[in-house]
Amino acid sequence: MLRDRRFLKRVSLACIAVPLAGALAYHVFLKEDGNALPAGIAYGNGRLEATEVDIATKTPGRLAEVLVDEGDLVEEGRIVAKMDTTALEAQLRQAEAEVARLRQARLTAISRVEGARLRLELADKELKRSKSLYDRGVMSEQQYDRDRLAQQTLKVEYEAAKSSVAEIEAAIVSAVAQTERLRADINDCMLKCPINGPVLIRLAEPGEVLPVGGKVLTIVNVQDIYMNVFLSERLAGMVPLGTDAKVVLDAIPDRPFAARVAYVSEKAQFTPKEVEAAEERQKLVFRVTVSLSEYDDPRLKPGMPGVVYIRMDPAVDWPERLK
């Protein structure tokens, strides 16, 4: 009797456990099926990256001001730092004074040309009269030779005066170019931001002496955000350039960001060292760069981990959770 009761108890527990196990299995498989990707969509893990632009000096000198801090959002064309321009401004004043001096010298040279021209005209007339008198035998040959030499001398002086004006004009062009170069150098000392984006790093402080190319700030180009993923040879060979993609970030799981495939590596490489599993690092993969088309969300930050989904077949619809 006792043995029959134990048997019935075991049968009852089995009857209860089997439906529960079936329900659990159905729930698990249904859930997995709901998250499963259709054929034609590949995925890979990665981290957001963005193009970084360094604001650097063109000429050596002392940093006078830094007008932004880390995290500030700056606009294209805004002055973000200034170099000390005291020495350059002094050189500019000196160059401008040289231009003024040369222009005055040009006026003086032009007046000398005019004087030489008038003297040459008079010498030409006197030589004509002397030749007429010489031909009639009234003037001696010696006097005629003196008049001819005087005319030739004045002609040489006239040509030299014109050449002096040309030299001064060339010097003026050179001096003006010097002032323009100094103005350009002074303008280059006003360091401007070439893009729209936040300040990532402030690398120098006022008072520091920087060399040519000394870095002052690093700006992130928020319009050029991308993620690199690594796919196997089989999958990489099926990914066309420009195809649609979606990026889902761990920190923003509720919004799939539209993207496109911008680059597929031509050469295989070993999986990068940041991949945790040692066996995965031994595999040859191809790097695929996916560029985000939607970058207006202020929550986007370089370094955020996420998953890239790539639609290799345009005929395949995105799953509901990726739309």
pLDDT one digit per residue (tens) for the chain, 323 residues = 434 444 444 534 444 444 433 333 333 333 334 357 788 899 889 999 999 999 999 989 999 999 999 989 999 999 999 999 999 999 999 999 999 999 999 999 999 999 988 988 888 888 898 888 878 888 888 888 888 898 898 899 889 888 999 999 999 999 999 999 999 999 999 999 999 989 999 999 999 999 999 999 999 998 899 999 988 888 888 888 889 999 999 999 999 999 999 999 888 887 666 554 444 544 788 899 999 998 888 888 889 999 999 998 888 889 888 88
Domain locations in the chain? 39-51+222-322, 55-85+190-216, 86-187
Structure tokens at 21: 């196990």
Task: Write out the CATH class of domain 55-85+190-216.
Answer: mainly beta
For every residue of 296-314, which 3-state class applies, written as one string?
A: CCCCCCCCCEEEEEEECCC
What does the DSSP 8-state code read for residue 108?
H
Structure tokens at 11: 């049968």
Q: Tell me how crowded residue 277 is: count the other CB atoms within 10 A of its CB.
A: 9
List of residues 6+ apart from 301 with CB closer than 8 A: 48
- 171 vs 161: CA distance, rounded Å: 15
Architecture of the domain spanning 39-51+222-322: Beta Barrel (2.40)
- 211 vs 218: CA distance, rounded Å: 17
Instruction: Please give the helix or strand (H or E) that residue 143 lies within, else none.
Output: helix 141-188
pTM above 0.95, yes or no: no
- 41 vs 22: CA distance, rounded Å: 30
Q: What pLDDT, on the 0 to 100 scale, is given for residue 274?
A: 57
